């Protein structure tokens, strides 16, 4: 090999290369890889940790409590950075690696970058079977790390030290590509990590990376402009791609100039403030009556940066059969869905070019006026639901409203699976762009607290507004994954965690009962228990205090409002729990297609099946 070389181990070379990669955020040069979340064990503690320890001033390593949650924290960080800066998560082999598969699925579904590195068995196979190895008798090349193939965009097993020369740049290119963005995974066999190799010095030269902005095809753009100019009642669906393209301002100005109401997806919420003059509310199953009414009437739908998930489309029942779709998306796969006129390109650049192609064209102002009237009605409904009442137990809507009122303009709301996604998607009124993170692409229970850690870590850097992450979880999710409360205490990254204690998995109980099945195994009162004296509610405040957090339990809205003020003034992570009604929800009016038994002895199930068939009859069928 020609040129100067440096002899280091494969693990040392990998870490050195990571520290030489840079990007730019708001004009400031920053490391592309901001740090590592790591739990060391068999397979990454002897070689990879040796390299990370030596580089900790340039690439800080943070110790997680659970491999899944630390990788979820990396995802929250990436979302806060809008895919422009990346965290690494590393685990041992076997169960440590498999714990990260769920996080990989979360990143893949949400198109978010994270570099996952797991130890692996020996490439030479001489010590086989090693500790934690799962053997496949007919294929000895398979290890548990092959499980990541289903949930990553880039997957590689490094079988020779030279392979990282090709693999690492490809991994980064994938994670920064707006169309292919997602998790990258590297399996590192233990004996390959230890091997020394003469790497070219040029491999370790500093490199600046940027997110590419592909322009749309001119002919497709002209077709889109022509179709849009035929519209009388168009809407613009703003998805997560708008936020990741940094296109919020351009999309808002485009909508106002051409008189097109903007409705937002779950991932797109937070691109616009609640009171933006073109904003007409969230769309779909956890959406607003205003956005859903506009969707039902729309003749042309301009979908920007959205994969059109079923919660957005109401399982494709939200739109008229004759409605036409224009889909602007960096990914061809997403742009081509459901007979859409696919305009493949970066959201920001494509919207700018579409704006120029439309010229002075504008929809009749009556259409925007109707959208604002419908949105006003929706806000009035929210006001009624969120107002304090005389109920014995507070509702989700009331709790969300108090948290929203207490949040500073730059505080970020974070939530995920359970009943809260519907309540915050509908009821949270965004005060500043990029201050809302609702993970509902994968609906991953356990994302919230871990992601709060990632957001807290990201908030102090360039391109972020600062503020405090406010995490809202149900009691079921808190019980599933809470250990990063301790991580934030150790690391000094403050967040506020709100635990809405409604006695179990209340929203799934709601769905179960709605489809004719009696309450079963969801609420704690409906679970099989042997000890009738067992408590049905956990003391979450005491539990959080045991991990070093400040904490309070609240029974009333007045207590909760005072506790929020106290939490804002604390200098460390604070957990507040409050009893919440498991049966009171902000109403929704979109349909959802779920499986209901075709035959059953229950009258309630047969009635639910008939209702489901009526829903399916309304679907817009894609090809």
Does residue 1 carry a pLDDT above 60?
A: no
Distance CA 497, CA 194 (A): 42
What is the pLDDT at residue 537?
83
Superfamily of segment(s) 218-377: TPP-binding domain (3.40.50.1220)
User: Using 50, 70 and 90 to split pLDDT, how confident is the model at 622?
Assistant: low
Average pLDDT value for residue range 315-324? 94
H-helix or E-strand spanning residue 357: helix 347-358
pLDDT of residue 495: 98
Identify any residues that bridge with 441 across adjacent strands, giving them in sequence order: none
Average pLDDT on 468-486 reads 96
The answer to whether residues 577 and 403 touch, using CB atoms and an 8 Å cutoff, is: no
Specify the pLDDT at position 318: 95
Q: If you search the block for the tokens 């960096």, which residue do you land on?
A: 330
Share of the chain above pLDDT 70, in %: 99
CA distance 603 to 143: 48
CA distance 223 to 217: 10
Q: What is the 3-state secondary structure (H, E, C) of 206-275?
A: CEECCCCCCCCCHHHHHHHHHHHCCCCCCEEEECHHHHHCCCHHHHHHHHHHHCCCEEECCCCCCCCCCC
Largest CA distance in the chain: 79
Residue 464 has pLDDT above 70, yes or no: no
Cα separation, 610 vs 623, in Å, equals: 26
State the Cα–Cα distance between residues 490 and 541, nearest whole angstrom: 18
Question: Which tokens in the block code for residue 597?
Answer: 């038994």
Q: Find the helix packing angle between 365-386 and 396-406, rounded to 10°.
A: 110
User: Which pLDDT score, from 0 to 100, does residue 425 have?
Assistant: 97
CATH of domain 5-208: 3.40.50.970
Q: Which residues contact 383 (CB under 8 A, 6 or more apart)?
A: none
- Paired tokens of 592: 């959802």
Q: Is the pLDDT of residue 7 over 70?
A: yes
Match 């809507």 to its residue by tokens: 397
Q: What is the pLDDT of residues 187-212, one digit of tens each?
A: 999 999 999 999 999 999 999 999 99
Identify the pLDDT of residue 2. 62
Closest CA to 284 of 327, 316, 251: 316
Mean pLDDT confidence for 253-259: 98
pLDDT tens profile 44-91:
999 999 999 999 999 999 999 999 999 999 999 999 999 999 999 999
Q: What percent of the chain has pLDDT over 90?
A: 94
Q: Phi-psi category of 226—alpha, beta or left, where left has phi over 0 and alpha has psi -120 to 50?
A: alpha
**pLDDT at residue 461 in the model:** 62
For residue 245, give the nearest of 115, 434, 72, 441 by alpha carbon: 434
Please say if the pLDDT value at position 396 is more than 70.
Answer: yes
pLDDT in tens, 432-456: 999 999 999 999 999 999 999 999 9
**Residue pLDDT, tens place only, 403-414:** 999 999 999 999
What SS3 state is found at 23? strand
Q: Take residue 55 and report the two structure tokens written for it.
A: 């580089």
Q: What is the pLDDT of residue 338?
A: 85
**H-assigned helices in 20-88:** 48-54, 67-80
Rounded-to-integer distance, Cα 587 and Cα 211, Å: 40
The residues spanned by each domain of the chain are 5-208, 218-377, 387-579
Give burial (CB, 10 Å; 0-12/13-18/19+) of 380: exposed
Q: How many CB atoms lie within 10 A of CB 31?
A: 18
* Structure confidence at residue 465 as a pLDDT band (50, 70, 90): low
* pLDDT tens column, 522-544: 999 999 988 888 888 899 999 99
Q: With bands split at pLDDT 50, 70 and 90, how would you rate the model's confidence at 466?
A: confident
Identify the sign of the CA torsion 247, 248, 250, 252: positive
Asked if 532 and 543 count as a contact pair (C-beta separation under 8 A), the reply is: no
pLDDT, average across residues 498-522: 94
CA torsion sign, 237 to 594 to 423 to 539? Answer: negative
DSSP string, 562-580: HHHHHHHH-SS-EEEEEE-
Collect all residues with Cβ–Cβ distance below 8 Å to 227 and sequence separation of at least 6: 300, 324, 326, 341
- pLDDT of 122: 96
Contact 14, 51 (CB under 8 A): yes
Q: What is the pLDDT of residue 481?
A: 96
Does the pLDDT value for residue 391 go beyond 90? no
What is the C-alpha separation between 506 and 512, in angstroms, rounded? 10
The per-residue pLDDT for 620 is 83
Q: How many CB atoms lie within 10 A of CB 168?
A: 21
CB atoms within 10 A of CB 472: 27
CATH 3.40.50.970 fits 387-579, yes or no: yes
Q: Is 309 exposed, middle or buried (0-12, 13-18, 19+ CB in 10 A)?
A: middle
Q: Is the pLDDT of residue 478 over 80?
A: yes
For residue 332 the two structure tokens come to 């061809």
Mean pLDDT within 142-158:
98
Question: Average pLDDT of 183-190?
Answer: 98
pLDDT at 3: 87
SS (H, E, C) 364-413: CHHHHHHHHHHHHHHHHHHHHHHCCCCCCCCCHHHHHHHHHHHCCCCCEE
Average pLDDT, the chain: 95
| Nearest CA-CA partner of 578 in 508, 511, 492, 496 | 496
Confidence (pLDDT) at 533: 82
**DSSP reduced 3-state for 440:** coil
Strand order in the sheet with 86-91: 61-63, 33-38, 86-91, 115-120, 184-189, 154-157
| 619 against 166, higher pLDDT | 166
Place of tokens 């397979």: 43
Query: Does residue 348 surpass a pLDDT of 90?
Result: yes
Q: Contact at 8 Å (CB) between 280 and 291?
A: yes
Per CATH, 218-377 and 387-579 having the same topology is answered yes
């Amino acid at each position: 090999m020609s040129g100067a070389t440096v002899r280091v181990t494969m693990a040392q070379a990998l870490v050195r290369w990571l520290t030489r990669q840079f990007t730019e955020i708001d004009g400031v040069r920053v490391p592309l890889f901001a740090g590592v979340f790591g739990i060391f064990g068999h397979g990454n503690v002897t070689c990879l940790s040796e390299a990370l320890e030596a580089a900790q001033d340039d690439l800080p390593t943070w110790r997680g409590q659970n491999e899944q949650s630390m990788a979820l924290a990396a995802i929250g960080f990436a979302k806060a950075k809008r895919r422009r800066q990346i965290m690494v998560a590393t685990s041992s082999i076997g169960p440590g690696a498999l714990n990260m598969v769920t996080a990989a699925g979360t990143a893949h579904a949400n198109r978010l970058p994270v570099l996952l590195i797991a130890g692996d068995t020996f490439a030479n196979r001489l010590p086989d079977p090693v500790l934690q190895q799962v053997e496949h008798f007919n294929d000895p090349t398979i290890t548990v790390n092959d499980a990541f193939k289903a949930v990553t965009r880039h997957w590689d097993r490094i079988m020779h030290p030279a392979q990282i020369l090709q693999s690492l740049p490809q991994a980064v290119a994938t994670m920064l590509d707006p169309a292919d963005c997602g998790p990258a995974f590297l399996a590192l066999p233990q004996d390959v990590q230890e091997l020394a190799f003469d790497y070219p010095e040029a491999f370790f030269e500093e490199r600046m990376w940027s997110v590419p902005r592909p322009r749309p095809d001119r002919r497709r753009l002209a077709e889109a402009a022509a179709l849009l100019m035929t519209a009388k009642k168009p809407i613009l669906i703003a998805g997560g791609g708008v936020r990741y393209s940094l296109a919020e301002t351009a999309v808002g100005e485009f909508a106002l100039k051409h008189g097109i109401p903007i409705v937002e997806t779950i991932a797109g919420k937070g691109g616009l403030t609640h009171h933006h003059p073109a904003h007409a509310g969230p769309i779909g199953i956890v959406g607003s009556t205003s956005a859903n009414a506009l969707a039902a009437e729309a003749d042309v739908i301009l979908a920007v940066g959205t994969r059109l998930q079923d919660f957005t489309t109401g399982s494709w029942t939200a739109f008229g059969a004759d409605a036409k779709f224009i889909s602007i998306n960096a990914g061809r796969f997403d742009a081509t869905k459901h007979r859409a006129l696919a305009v493949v390109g970066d959201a920001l650049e494509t919207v700018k070019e579409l704006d120029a192609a439309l010229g002075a064209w504008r929809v009749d102002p009556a259409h925007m006026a109707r959208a604002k009237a419908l949105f006003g009605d929706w806000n009035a409904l929210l006001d009624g639901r969120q107002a304090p009442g005389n109920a014995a137990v507070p509702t989700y809507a009331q709790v969300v409203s108090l948290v929203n009122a207490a949040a500073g303009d730059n505080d970020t709301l974070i939530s995920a699976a359970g009943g809260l996604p519907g309540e915050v998607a509908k009821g949270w009124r965004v005060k500043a762009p990029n201050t809302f993170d609702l993970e509902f692409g994968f609906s991953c229970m356990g994302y919230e607290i871990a992601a709060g850690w990632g957001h807290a870590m990201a908030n102090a850097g360039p391109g972020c507004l600062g503020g405090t992450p406010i995490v809202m979880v149900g009691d079921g999710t808190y019980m599933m994954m809470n250990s990063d409360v301790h991580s934030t205490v150790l690391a000094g990254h403050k967040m506020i965690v709100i635990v809405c204690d409604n006695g179990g998995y209340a929203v799934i109980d709601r769905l179960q009962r709605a489809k004719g099945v009696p309450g079963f195994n969801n609420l704690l009162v409906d679970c099989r228990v042997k000890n009738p004296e067992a408590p049905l509610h956990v003391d979450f405040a005491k539990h959080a205090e045991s991990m070093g957090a400040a904490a309070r339990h609240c029974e009333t809205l007045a207590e909760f409002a005072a506790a929020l003020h106290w939490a804002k003034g604390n200098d460390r992570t604070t957990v507040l729990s409050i009893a919440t009604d498991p049966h009171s929800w902000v109403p929704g009016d979109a349909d959802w297609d779920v499986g209901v038994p075709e035959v059953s002895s229950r009258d309630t199930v047969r009635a639910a099946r008939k209702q489901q068939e009526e829903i399916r009859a309304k679907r817009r069928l894609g090809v």
